[in-house]
Chains A and B, each alone.
Chain A
Amino acid sequence: MITASLMNRASAGDVELAGFVQAHAVARMSNVDCPAGTECAVPFNEQRLQLKAEGGNEAGSLSFLGKIDLIHDSVLDERVGEVRELYADYNSDNFRLRSGRQIITWGLGDLLFINDIFPKDWVAFYSGQPLQYLKRGSDALNLDLYLGTTTLEIVLSRFRGDRLPDSRQFVMGSPFSPLLPYHIDEPTGAELALRLSGNLASWDAAVYASHGYYRAPALTATATEVYGFYPRLNTLGATLSGAFANGVLNLELGYYDSVNDRGGDIPAIENSQARFLVGYSRQLGQETQLGVQAYAEWLQDYHAYERSLPAGFALRDEVRTVATIRFTQRYFYQTLTFNLFAFVGLSEGDSYVVPSVRYAFNDNLWAELGANLFGGSRHGMLGAMGDNGNVYLTVRYAF
């Protein structure tokens, strides 16, 4: 007994350390008259150290992971520490309980989200940070119940909003006076999300439900301030993924129930929506991959929305449609990767194209040069970012 527990203690010391250092800089492409207070020519320039520790006991019943980023932001002249993930797992035969800050990714869309209702960092995304930084951790209790061949995932979390582009680094039109201070209330209630997944014949199937909040605030101006709060949101959805015509077919749908605006006549709050996605990806050649997606957002209560929209606001389409294409080509034993991702706003007449080239110098060091290019109608969701087109360079050394 004593020997066994001593051995357990010895093996509990099994902690692996890793991490990386990364430099990331972004230059604005177009000649834009940036408003005062907005970083214009070089909106982003940061150096980052990520430290990761993970470990667990030999039996595999207990484990943990911690990832902490230390960031030096040369543009905003800030030093920030950020806990990316910090959680402990308890594994048993029939369940896994993960508690702490954790990244959760649900759904099938490639950069189009329906059932992935977890917090995101759009600042990182539009500034060309590596994709992992699009996701923010949730502070959550996450219970996976293994029920035969199906898994029920229950996530109970504290609210965390999206990180949205702000006027310090982005040039964006705002309907509000820049002189007004912002006052935004965060929800204090817990959020609940459920996912039941399994196989239907040879297809991966899942259904989803959530009870929580929108991750962007609804804003209204008063005489003295811009007031914001995060409206309630319930969602329901489903996904299906399987082999089809020598490729992979993904189907996803969801319903967004805007609880605080079920009538659709409060302009500051999103209307309820139905969302649909069809995606297909396949290999074109030995090192060539192509993925295409078609996506639609259908505003419910459109007439109420039309009637209640204040003067001066651009009217959205009842059905917003977007197509995406991803093309990846690798060379020289996969050390050089060319990637092109393009969103095409079919209904709004705008576009967002992200070309990138990455070269792995060796197993530890890679560099990526890329761009975020916005085009088309400035009234579209993507075109509205038109003054923020950029080129970026990321260099990472992993250890």
Chain B
Amino acid sequence: MSLPTWRIPGPVLALITLAWVSGAATAAVPDAQTIVANSLQAFYYAGEDMRARISMRLINAQGKERRREMILLRKNIGKSGEQRYYIYFRAPPDIKGTTFMVWKYLHKEDDRWIFIPAIKLVRRIAADDKRSSFIGSDFTYEDISGRAVDDETHTLLRTEELAGRAVYVIESRPKTRADYTRRLSWIDQQRGLPLKEEYFDARDEKVRVFTADRIEQVDGYWTVTSRTMKNLQTGHRTQVRFDDIKYDLGLKKNLFTERYLRTPPRKWLR
């Protein structure tokens, strides 16, 4: 038998954080590390779990469009930043029914598995590629599932207003070699969500731009429901919409196992 542990429910924690952040903003500005940590929390960890229907439009410089549609299930595990992701692809037709699972850890490589329905094959896949494109989009795996706050060093450049919201402007530099040398983020002071991000390459040219195009409150959590990542060098962009979002559904841990990779849980996928 294990000893009872005190756990602060996510929403309460968020309220405390918000109160602390907004209180701090009037007194003293929090340090960059804290701002980014809170932002990662708000953007990638809202709720204990979540479900969403994701539609991606992959648009090339000529305006030609491809579509990806998937159901995302996500669950936080403990307080160490560990998460489980489950993705069921609904479109395009050639990959429909494919399922993908990530056990995300902050301080070691993720575990990833894919299920290919045409041959009923489950395969563990190498996860040393957080910066490669997620299913041919402008988002990387890391953009989808997040990074650790100490993967980068952060500096608060200034505070300003963006689209009527008070924001912190943060510069982050990766500690190990990455495809970008620095990243600027405009982080909503009150809600913690990133409203805009710019990635710069080794020649300090702007390569990719992320924008949060629509933000809504869902089940009490501020959520980016519409977002775009644009590659300025190729002219390619990816527009993503989150629909049918639900938080705190009580998703069980065993949903994120090979069993459900092979037999998608219909209940959560419609």
Contacts and interface: CB of A to CB of B under 8 A. Distances in A.
B94 A248 contact: no
B135 interface: yes
Contacts of A134: 119
A155 B109 CA distance: 35
Interface of A: 14, 18, 20, 54, 56, 58-60, 63, 89, 91, 96, 102-105, 131-132, 134-135, 144, 146, 149, 151, 197, 202, 204, 241-243, 246-248, 250, 281-283, 286-287, 289, 333-335, 362-364, 366, 396, 398-399
A398 B129 contact: no
A248 B66 CA distance: 31
A102 B129 CA distance: 34
6 contacts: A20-B94, A105-B121, A243-B108, A247-B128, A248-B125, A363-B93
Contact of B91 (A103, A135, A149, A363): A363
Instruction: In the A-B complex, list the 8 residue pairs whose CB atoms are closest, starting with the nearest.
Output: A334-B136, A363-B92, A60-B266, A132-B118, A283-B129, A398-B93, A246-B128, A286-B132
A122 B126 CA distance: 28
Nearest to A91: B263
B132 to A, nearest CB: 4
A363 B60 CA distance: 13
Given A60-B266, A102-B120, A146-B259, A398 B111 contact: no
A200 B58 CA distance: 39
A146 B252 CA distance: 15
Given A60-B266, A287-B132, A204 B119 contact: no
Main SS of chain A's interface residues?
strand
B266 A63 contact: yes
B10 interface: no
Centre residue among B91, B119, B137 by max chain A CB count within 10 A: B119
B133 A202 contact: no
B131 interface: yes
B270 to A, nearest CB: 7
Given A151-B258, A286-B133, A333-B136, A246 B119 contact: no
Centre residue among B108, B127, B254 by max chain A CB count within 10 A: B127
B236 interface: yes
A132 B258 contact: no
A398 B126 contact: no
Interface in B233-265: 236, 254, 257-259, 263, 265
A105 B266 contact: no
Nearest to B109: A243
Contact of B120 (A14, A105, A151, A287): A105
B91 A197 contact: no
B91 A283 contact: no
Contact of B263 (A89, A282, A396, A399): A89
Contacts, number: 103
Contacts of B118: 103, 132
A157 to B, nearest CB: 14
A247 B128 CA distance: 7
Nearest to A62: B266
B267 interface: yes
A398 B92 contact: yes
A46 B91 CA distance: 27
B259 A144 contact: yes
Given A204-B124, A362-B64, A18 B93 contact: yes
Nearest to B129: A283
A366 B94 contact: yes
A306 to B, nearest CB: 38
Contacts of A104: 120
A363 B66 contact: yes
B150 interface: no
Interface in B125-150: 125-129, 131-133, 135-137
Contacts of B258: 151, 197, 204
A100 B80 CA distance: 44
A333 B133 contact: yes
Given A246-B109, A286-B133, A334-B135, A103 B93 contact: no
A333 B58 contact: yes
B58 to A, nearest CB: 7
Contacts of B120: 102-105, 135
A281 B136 contact: no
Nearest to A396: B94
A58 B257 CA distance: 21
B109 A333 contact: no
